[in-house]
Amino acid sequence: MEEKKAFRRAALERRSLADPMEAPLCARRLAELPEFQAAEAVFCYASYGTELPTGPVIALARDLGKRVAYPKVLDRETMKFYFAEMLQPGFRGIPEPVAGEEAVPRPGDLMLLPGAAFSLEGHRMGYGGGYYDRYLAALPCRPVCCGLCYELQLVQQLPHEPHDQIMDLLVTPQRIITIELRF
């Protein structure tokens, strides 16, 4: 557990060195994805701190007529998504929907996930709360999961647990990585 915390701390320090001006490049990469083009709704985090800014992605999705849903932490265990226009600081100061219609992913929808680091095997190291892992595990229909990150957040392998959700795609300003699941 301490090893994972130390790895997360180092990954977040490394992420702080990234250039947020690369965010529009990520939006362009996403636009290339058939999964993005086909999605009716995009489930997207509202960027906070040194996370890759999602503003360009959100603007692109809306320009293409896609609905955008944002996560809101309801309690120590629960997170839900809402279609909303207005966000305000919520859990840990992270922007969250003020109000809106609850959004539940449907087949073909796309979820963009933040993280401290991502492995080339599709594992994601979040912030330790497990909100996305619990949310995704409880869904009757899993959306296409895409880790949105800077190139310097990619590592060969990450410590992970059996309950950790694996990404289907990773998108950086430089490239798109499709995860090949191995059984």
Q: Establish how many alpha carbons lie within 13 A of residue 100's alpha carbon, considering only the half-sphere containing its beta carbon.
A: 21
Structure tokens at 136: 């995704």
pLDDT 10s digits, 75-87: 988 999 999 989 9
Judged against a pLDDT cut of 50, whether residue 88 lies above it is answered with yes
**CA atoms of 81 and 70, how far apart (whole Å):** 5
> Mean pLDDT throughout 113-120?
95
Of the pLDDT bands very low, low, confident and very high (cuts 50, 70, 90), residue 73 is: very high
Judged against a pLDDT cut of 90, whether residue 167 lies above it is answered with yes
**CA atoms of 69 and 83, how far apart (whole Å):** 4
**Which residue in this structure is represented by tokens 């595990």?**
137
Q: What percent of the chain has pLDDT over 90?
A: 81
pLDDT 10s digits, 29-72: 999 999 999 999 999 999 999 999 999 999 999 999 999 999 99
The pLDDT score that the predictor gives to residue 183 is: 44
Q: What is the pTM of this model?
A: 0.93
Judged against a pLDDT cut of 80, whether residue 19 lies above it is answered with yes
**Which residue in this structure is represented by tokens 């997207």?**
44
Q: Establish how many alpha carbons lie within 13 A of residue 13's alpha carbon, considering only the half-sphere containing its beta carbon.
A: 6
Q: Which CATH number fits domain 2-178: 1.10.357.10, 3.40.50.150, 3.40.50.10420, 3.50.50.60?
A: 3.40.50.10420
The DSSP secondary-structure symbol of 53 reads: P
Helix, strand, or coil (residue 120): coil
The CA angle 78-79-80, to the nearest 5 degrees, is 125
